Copies of this chain bind each other. A is one copy, B any other.
Amino acid sequence: MVANPTELITSDKNTTVKLVKGLLTQARQRKKQGQTVIEGVHLIDAALRSDYPFVQILVSEAAQHHPEVQQILTRLPTYTPILTLSDALYESIRSLGTGIDIMALINIPAPRLAAISNDCLILNDVQDNGNVGTLLRTAAAVGIHNILCTSSTAQAWSPKTLRAGMGAQFALTIYEHLSVQDILDYVQTPLFATSSHTDTMIYQHDLKQPIAWIMGHEGQGVCDELMQCATPIALPQPNGQESLNVAIAGSLCLYETLRQREYT
């Protein structure tokens, strides 16, 4: 049974509309409310495939009869509230460009950190939403589930990070707002980090044991406290260019780990 959109909202004074607009535009609001908004058919489909619950669905009047929206509405639990917004109002709040106008308000998961003794990826103040999202996407592809983010890392559940992650967030357990001390206290797996201060190439390391890969800030790299506890590894750059983009470096590390385990 398709849940039935009930009322048509036209006013930007509507409480849910105001909330959603704030969550789409302000990191502070997302952190304060513990909620975010996922936009577009693709992300909503990824959430549905992971049985992730929605607080609220919002569709534009024009989109509500679109076959892909109808297909999504059919798959929703029947108790999911659906708001229909006038096209002009929807357009005034969406952060995506043109597409199929559907979005969902969701609660951001807040898993409680416990001891980690298997593979994980630590994002140590990675600043750029695109880099965080791309790293999450690669982690999900290679099957790493635990992601630990220190407090200055870009939000894993911001609209931009969700877009770059293509829904990988729903396949992962993401711990956010951690201190460096949290990492040191809870991660029992050996730490590895890329460094320009070593000549030992990644290919010369045995990566078959569980590993906690640390990726750092785009400008400053991994912080000293974590670097001191980590095995430094180098990625070759025969042409002597500057360091690689952090999402590239991280993905190379995760894939070299996979290669050594599965393809040697």
Contacts and interface: CB of A to CB of B under 8 A. Distances in A.
Interface of A: 130, 134, 137-138, 140-143, 164, 166-168, 171, 201, 203-204, 235-239, 241-242, 244-245, 247-248, 251-252, 255-256, 258-259, 262-263
B203 A259 contact: yes
A263 B201 contact: yes
Nearest to A204: B263
A248 B255 CA distance: 10
A263 B234 CA distance: 13
A54 to B, nearest CB: 21
B141 A241 contact: yes
Contacts of A251: 244, 248, 251-252
A13 to B, nearest CB: 33
A258 B239 CA distance: 12
A237 B251 CA distance: 12
Contact of A137 (B134, B140, B241, B252): B241
Contact of A262 (B238, B248, B252, B262): B238
A68 B140 CA distance: 42
Contacts of A140: 239, 241
A52 to B, nearest CB: 15
B252 A255 contact: yes
A142 B245 contact: no
14 contacts: A137-B244, A137-B245, A140-B239, A140-B241, A141-B237, A141-B239, A143-B238, A167-B242, A201-B263, A204-B263, A236-B258, A247-B247, A248-B251, A256-B259
Nearest to A245: B134
A148 to B, nearest CB: 18
Contact of A143 (B138, B239, B248, B259): B239
Nearest to A259: B203
B263 A166 contact: no
A119 to B, nearest CB: 12
Contacts of A245: 134, 137-138, 164, 247
Contacts of A143: 238-239
Given A137-B244, A141-B238, A142-B236, 13 more contacts: A134-B248, A142-B238, A143-B239, A167-B242, A171-B239, A235-B255, A244-B251, A245-B247, A248-B248, A248-B251, A251-B252, A252-B252, A256-B259
